Amino acid sequence: MSEILITRSRGSIVECVHFGDVAVVGPDGKLIASCGDADKYTYFRSSAKPIQALNLIISGAAERFGINDQELALVCASHYSEDQHLETARSILAKAGLDESFLRCGAARSIKPEIAFSQSEAGIPPQRIKSDCSGKHSGMLATCAHKGYPLDTYLNPEHPLQQELIAIVSEVCDYPVEKIGVGVDGCGVPVFALPIRNMALAYARFAAPETLPERYRSAAIRAFEAMNAYPAMVSGTGGFCTALMQATGGRMIGKVGAMGVYTIGIKTARLGIALKIGDGSPGMAQVAAMHVLRELDLLTEAEYERLESFHQPPVLNDEGLRVGEVRAVFSLKKNG
């Protein structure tokens, strides 16, 4: 059963509580720590992107089209549609002989409210390239172009690309493909549901790639290193994914998913973390993720100081005055 992970207070009164679930797993699948239901079955959402990106590499498309690490990091990203992100997505498409008209993600503005507001104020309309998933879609299209798959139906669950992707998720997460639930993500691609324990396992294996099936090992190493080499690609200015990798100097990858999903792989500790905030409230997953890292002593004091604002963000009023706080209130149950 889910437990209360986070409270939001105004003055001395708690006015909101957020339930959720956490799983911390080693690359052998052993549950190291948990809170709530470690087998919570939910959608992977965009936390699956680094796993899906493996197909771009193992297919040979990345090599054929000269996809560099900055571009690969964007394929793994939920980006803020800053100029650097848009230029990189266009570069991926151009290398595959395509352009943004081939994208089938919905027209969007930035997922960061401040940037979206600026785009609106400037009269910039929503565009597909501005979707936070345009990097992933560009990588999918590049793979289709390389393998001769149809380009106009790449979102269809029966499309050969999507069949490859669900098989990769099944293998990396060690979860039977027939048990994976399939829905439609916000950007139109098939989205996969499975237990958070298995999501955490995938990230533990990214952190210990020798435990992956052999055909994924070098690709996982490259994806891990690309995300750390170009963390600004993975979310953007002020984003938690970007800040986490900048602060931890190559030891971790972190990837947000919509509706309160967050996943982390920690190379030095050989651990994977996955969590789900039950109500999907924006910003709460990073608070819980920081709390897990703190409880397991996975951050140095210097790293924590750089990231502390994500752990205990203030509640501000319209004048910018602090009127409350958001606080993680859970303790992990540690096994062994």
Name 104's Cβ contacts closer than 8 Å, sequence gap at least 6.
Answer: 128, 137, 152, 154, 155, 188
As a whole number of angstroms, the distance between CA 184 and CA 110 comes to 20
Name 269's Cβ contacts closer than 8 Å, sequence gap at least 6.
Answer: 207, 296, 298
Per CATH, which fold does 3-334 belong to?
A: Beta-lactamase (3.40.710)
How far, CA to CA in Å, does 56 sit from each of 141, 172, 211, 312?
Answer: 9, 15, 20, 37
Three-state DSSP state, 44 = coil
pLDDT at 35: 98
Name 206's Cβ contacts closer than 8 Å, sequence gap at least 6.
Answer: 50, 212, 220, 223, 224, 253, 265, 272
301-310: per-residue pLDDT in tens? 999 999 999 9
Reading the block at residue 243, the tokens are: 């800040």
145-191: per-residue pLDDT in tens? 999 999 999 999 999 999 999 999 999 999 999 999 999 999 999 99
48-84: per-residue pLDDT in tens? 999 999 999 999 999 999 999 999 999 999 999 999 9
Q: Taking the CB of residue 301, how many other CB atoms lie within 10 A of it?
A: 7
pLDDT band at 336 (very low <50, low <70, confident <90, very high): low
Tell me what percent of the residues of the chain surpass a pLDDT of 70.
100
The residues with which 262 forms a beta bridge, in sequence order, are: 256, 275
Reading the block at residue 91, the tokens are: 């570069």
pLDDT at 116: 92
31-48: per-residue pLDDT in tens? 999 999 999 999 999 999
**Mean pLDDT for the stretch of residues 111-135:** 94
Average pLDDT for the chain: 97
How far, CA to CA in Å, does 140 sit from each of 49, 106, 154, 206?
Answer: 11, 15, 8, 20
The residues with which 4 forms a beta bridge, in sequence order, are: 19
What DSSP designation does 106 have? Answer: P
Name 75's Cβ contacts closer than 8 Å, sequence gap at least 6.
Answer: 49, 53, 56, 67, 92, 135, 136, 138, 139
As a whole number of angstroms, the distance between CA 297 and CA 215 comes to 33
**Mean pLDDT for the stretch of residues 279-293:** 97
